[in-house]
Amino acid sequence: MGLFTRRNNESATATAVATVDPALAALSGDYTIDPAHSSIGFTVRHAMVTNVRGGFGSYEGALSLDGIDPSRSSASIDVDIASVDTGIADRDGHLRSGDFFDAEKFPKMTFRSTAAEQLGGDRYRITGDLTIKDVTRPLSIDLEFQGSATDVYGNERAGFEGSTEILRSDWGLTWNAALEAGGVMVSDKVKLTFDISAIKNAPQAA
């Protein structure tokens, strides 16, 4: 079930009327990401032999969804760098230090979307600007729409799950240590993962 589906007709032109699922069109609106039921994580190769996984415990974000034309959808998120958590206090402290995120000087990591597109079915790609420390670079995230539901408290929710890969050095995160047997302590490639549950905002009073 896609957020936007065009009529499959070989004679259709670029101006053809879109076929819209009313249930999906009803999803249109502004949403607030619910951190209690979402996660933003990362995975990075450590010492060339295993993966270290972590995430961020504090962040806020918003989605604006257009169920008729997803290209008009947008997203923004602000992550508190000091909330990084890999399960090891010493490692988390190192990540917050100047060797990596320098959380005291640069307390936020931000993402602001600039474009959105449907890849097919429930798959979408959102592109935007990711800022870490004082570096801003473009980033594309592939997402899958997980559906919508009304929870027991009457909140209308929409869910998305996705991932992307970055080179941390592109954002100035270059600290490393050489291993005796060859290679480095921390991989440059980092996988970012997103599991998002967003609550639809109540309509604004006229």
Q: 89: left (phi > 0), else alpha (psi -120 to 50), else beta?
A: alpha
Predicted local distance difference test score (pLDDT) of residue 108: 98
Residue 133: which of 83, 169, 166, 162 has the closest Cα?
A: 169
pTM as predicted = 0.86
Is the CB of residue 187 less than 8 Å from the CB of residue 165?
Answer: no
> What pLDDT sits at residue 193?
98
Question: Where on the phi/psi map is residue 64: left (φ > 0), alpha (ψ -120 to 50), or beta?
Answer: beta
Instruction: Report long-range pairs for 11-18 (Cβ below 8 Å, ≥24 apart).
Output: 18/68, 18/69
Helices (H), the chain: 22-25, 89-96
| Nearest residue to 201 via CA among 21, 33, 25 | 33
pLDDT of residue 24: 74
Query: What pLDDT is recorded for position 178?
Result: 92
Q: Hey, what are 205's tokens?
A: 């009073």
- pLDDT, mean of each 10-residue run, the chain (206 residues): 41 44 83 97 91 97 93 97 97 96 98 95 95 97 95 95 97 92 90 98 76
Res 25: pLDDT: 83
Cβ atoms of 102 and 71 within 8 Å: the answer is: no
Calculate the CA dihedral of residues 138, 63, 17, 120 and round it to 10 degrees. 60
Query: Which pLDDT does position 91 carry in this prediction?
Result: 96
CA 21, 27, 29, 31 torsion: positive or negative?
A: negative
